[in-house]
Amino acid sequence: MHTIFRIGDTEPIKDRLWTVNLTLTSDNDQELTQLTEYLRKNIEGSTSLYRICSLTTMMAEWQTAEVINKALFKTAPNDNVEQVTFLNTNLGQINFLKQKSLPSNHPSLATTYNNIASVHFSMAQYSKAQSSFEMAREIQQKSLPPNHPSLANTYNNIGLMHKSMGEYSQAKSLYEKALEIQQTSLPSNHPSLATT
């Protein structure tokens, strides 16, 4: 077992400096043993990254869990049903838990909906992707300034989906909306302007 300490008292000394009292645990620490066993049984995943993703979800570290989950999804082979299912389930769980803990118009929920939509898009599930992209857009329109770059990103995502479905006029309209937002919110030499 690695060295583990319990955090005891904490006391501020001065600006950004604290005294922290630590107590070394032992292998006989019953609470630590129970926690370790609980984590071993309840943290799923075939690799350490998958387990960290599960752990961060369990700890309500939504943004970290989403970033890891999205990175894993990019590297997971599409024919590995077990991995894709795990990642989809985990994204759904993150979304569900975020909805329970955050206000319905919180910008983090928009990020989650965008991520879920991206997963559906990559699996060619366009109607599900569109629904999630639209949820993200609605939240962003309510919670962000009208020229926020995240809103432009969502318009680009929805445009890409319409382009993939062969709906070119809708895609063009959405790309133009994204460009309009980017031109008012980003510097003229920003790389996003070139890609839009």
Residues 112 and 192 grouped into a single domain:
yes
pLDDT in tens, 107-138: 878 888 888 898 888 888 899 999 999 999 99
Residues 188 and 169 grouped into a single domain:
yes
Residues 191 and 143 grouped into a single domain:
yes
The pLDDT assigned to 165 comes to: 92
- Count up the domains in the chain and report the number: 3
- Percent above pLDDT 70 for the chain: 95
**Cα separation of the two ends of the chain:** 51
Long-range CB contacts for residues 143-147, cutoff 8 Å, separation at least 24: 143/105, 143/106, 143/107, 143/110, 144/107, 144/110, 146/181, 147/181, 147/184, 147/185
Higher pLDDT, 104 or 144: 144
The pLDDT assigned to 173 comes to: 95
Residue 193: inside a domain: yes
Residue 113: inside a domain: yes
Write out the two tokens for 122: 């990559």
Q: Mean pLDDT over residues 167-177, rounded?
A: 94
Question: 131 lies in which domain range?
Answer: 102-196
Residues 130 and 181 grouped into a single domain:
yes
**pLDDT band of 151, cuts 50, 70, 90:** very high
pLDDT in tens, 3-40: 888 888 888 888 888 888 888 888 788 888 887 787 77
Residues 131 and 177 grouped into a single domain:
yes
Residue 97: inside a domain: no
Task: List, in sequence order, every residue forming a beta bridge with 97; answer none if it has no partner.
Answer: none
**pLDDT band of 190, cuts 50, 70, 90:** low
Residues 118 and 147 grouped into a single domain:
yes
Write out the two tokens for 27: 């292998």
The pLDDT assigned to 35 comes to: 78
Residues 124 and 168 grouped into a single domain:
yes
Full-model pTM: 0.52
Q: Mean pLDDT over residues 129-148, rounded?
A: 91
Residues 116 and 150 grouped into a single domain:
yes
- The secondary structure of the chain, three-state, reads CCCCEEEEEEEEEECCEEEEEEEECCCCCHHHHHHHHHHHHHCCCCCHHHHHHHHHHHCCCHHHHHHHHHHHHHHCCCCCHHHHHHHHHHHHHHHHHHHHHCCCCCHHHHHHHHHHHHHHHHCCCHHHHHHHHHHHHHHHHHHCCCCCHHHHHHHHHHHHHHHHCCCHHHHHHHHHHHHHHHHHHCCCCCHHHHHC
Residue 188: inside a domain: yes
Residues 160 and 118 grouped into a single domain:
yes
The pLDDT assigned to 196 comes to: 67
Residues 34 and 48 grouped into a single domain:
no
pLDDT in tens, 71-103: 887 887 777 777 778 787 878 887 777 777 777
The pLDDT assigned to 174 comes to: 94
The pLDDT assigned to 176 comes to: 93
Residues 57 and 140 grouped into a single domain:
no
Task: List, in sequence order, every residue forming a beta bridge with 24; answer none if it has no partner.
Answer: 5
Residues 119 and 190 grouped into a single domain:
yes
